[in-house]
Amino acid sequence: MQVVLFGLNHKAAAIDQLECFALKSEEVMASLQALHQHPQIDEIAILSTCNRTEFYAVGVGEVDLRPVFRAHLRALKGESPGEAWEQFYFKVGEEAKRHLFSVACGLDSVVVGENEIAGQVKGAYGTACRAGTAGILLHKLFHAAFRASKRAKNETEINKGCCSTAAAAVDLAEAFCGDLKGASVLVIGVGEIGSISARILAKRQAGEIVIANRTLEKAAALAAEVGGRAVSVYGLRDELARADAVVSATDSNHCLFEAGDMAAILKNREKGPLLIVDLAVPRDFDPGVGALPEVVLKNVYDLKEVVMGNLVKREQSVDTVERIIAEELQKFIDWRESLRINPVIQAVKTQVETIRREELARVRDRFDESAYFQVERLTRSLAKKYLQAIVLQLKHLQGENCLDAQNISLIEELFTYRGKAVGD
């Protein structure tokens, strides 16, 4: 079995291509269950964020799973432009594992070192666990990635400065407005990014924070937390007309505001320019909105401009983070390799213990209770020392890469007990 990755991210594709393959939570769950039924897939997890859609799977044998993933996405999303398929990457074995570690540590993000991605990776793993599609390999692999991410944050400065998509969006709003203390900022969506954006706005003492969401109760809860005002999405026309800046991050399947709608909304706007930071994928605002007078429209790809000033300190940490990734990846590889030798070690232990017990049973009637207890303890001690020597040597040979599949099979056969004690 081998770990494989099939995916698309912000580095490989344009935002409209990412939109074609973005998966909502219900689509992720349905995809996990459907793909897990495939005979060539033993385990699977799916990571879908505004910057990536990635399938992490444990394949049975060395079969190329790309056609399986493509067929599934075609059935789910329909046919996409031919060039979009060319942007997908396929990684196998160590390359796939290293990619997951890099993602979890924030090295593969638009905002290098961002905080949100670690939670998103944990969410993807949690969903796979709930769906019952994560097995022993993905359990171990994702936990190793979590450990690498934690070490990267604790041992380096990779997440110092502007370290999240939400923070970059607020930085953009602050630069645009000049002073957030006198600005009215509308946050649309109370998911992870929207909520973090609202909290950062509160910390920077934005003049007015307006929270909009389809579920008004959720908007009200976040508004109460940040000292803002909650509104229903059905009242957004008025709020858009009076806001200085907008941060939008909903999980809608379709565009919320077309260019024509926004032109009508802003027709009687009395304020100056409006900044819209659209962090959703698929996008909440039609790209044509950016062509309207007095509107500046930014998307997740535009955040790269914001974070350039904070990159120096974090880029100095990249080498250290990569070293951490290499260390944690090697631990995972060592654990995976240990699985090969475990059956052999168990076979040795079983044979020695079986022979010990049979030999004791054969001479049981020669000893009284006290003497038998001493003999039994002596044989157990001898067997333990004998086993320790063999197991240490087997692990040494494995560590030196001296045990291929044929050698392991031969050793296991040698130590498979056939029912005759030594000396019979």
Backbone angles phi, psi at 298, to 5 degrees: -120, 150
- Where are the strands (E) in 286-352, listed by range? 295-299
Token couple for 141: 């692999």
DSSP at 106? T
- The whole-angstrom separation of Cα 97 and Cα 330 is 10
| Cα dihedral 350, 352, 357, 359 sign | positive
Known catalytic residue: 50?
A: yes
Q: Point out which residues pair with 91 in neighbouring strands.
A: 5
| Vertex 45: Cα angle to 41 and 47 (nearest 5) | 140
Q: Are strands 208-213 and 229-232 parallel, antiparallel or unpaired?
A: parallel
Terminal Cα-to-Cα distance of the chain (whole angstroms) = 42
340-to-115, 168, 263, 345, 406 alpha-carbon distances in Å: 36, 46, 65, 10, 11
Catalytic residue among 50, 105, 163, 177: 50
175-to-203, 266, 307, 310, 375 alpha-carbon distances in Å: 16, 22, 12, 15, 82
Give the SS3 label for residue 229. Answer: strand
Could you give the residue numbers annotated as active site?
50
